[in-house]
Structure 1
Amino acid sequence: MDIPEQARILRIFIGESDKSDGRPLYEAIVLKAREMHLAGATVLRGAIGFGHSSRLHTMNMLRLSDDLPLVVEIVDGEAAIDAFLPLLDQLMTGGLVTVETVEVRRYGPSKQD
């Protein structure tokens, strides 16, 4: 699979406790991206954050949150990201979604493989 040099990055900001049909939302997003044959997806867990509600979510031991902030990042071509957005809307009820243009410098196995 190739990604065009000028691609898009889709960032989805959600909470760890967010669900879609009983499954963790981040998992549902990654599995849907894989099903759609997108180039790849990564879930990043934040140590601290807040969103629309301004409620602080932290991994501080004294205030251990069960809803840490997560960011799902997906990079692919413009057409693939645009085709994925309506499906993402069906999975999500809240959160923040951003799309940016990026330059892909390398994608694929290392030269040693």
Structure 2
Amino acid sequence: MAHQQVTIARIYLHEGEHLLSKIMNILHDEERVAGVTVLRGITGFGKDGKVRTSSLADLSLDSPLVVEFYDAPDRVDAAIEKLLRRLDLNHVVTWSGVRHTQTN
């Protein structure tokens, strides 16, 4: 099994910010990071203290979102720098990890 050091990053936002497509364009088209997953939250709150929640009756589409991506540490650092320079992102966290791949 092969091992590679990676950095994992999470960006916390909500749909009402309308930043998801811009973030995805930067991560996919410009920075070409190794992988991205977007998760829609059931409920959450951020710096403004407003609780955002999803329900069948709620059609506002302002659910919490988490954009998680990973790559080599220098590539993640470069992607985060570009995202912060171009977008108004308030909550970005990173941590180190190990990517495990099978070798045949």
**Could you state the TM-score of these two structures normalised by the residue count of structure 1?**
0.77
**What is the root-mean-square deviation of aligned Cα atoms in Å?**
2.0
2:97 to 80, 87, 102: 102
Please give the per-residue CA displacement for 1:47-88, whole angstroms capped at 9, x wherever unaligned: 111111111101134555431100001110101011112211
Any unmatched runs of 5+ in structure 2? none
Look up the match of 2:27: 33
How far, CA to CA, are the matches of 1:96 and 1:28 in structure 2? 16
Percentage of pairs with the same residue? 32
CA shift in 2, pair 1:36/1:94, >3 Å: closer
- Compare the two structures and name the one with the higher strand fraction: 2
Quick one: higher RCO (CA 8 Å, sep 6+), 1 or 2? 2
Runs (4 or more) in structure 1 with deviation over 2 Å come to 60-66
Aligned residues: 100
Other structure's SS at 2:16 match: coil
**Could you state the TM-score of these two structures normalised by the residue count of structure 2?**
0.83
Any unmatched runs of 5+ in structure 1? 20-24
Look up the match of 1:43: 38
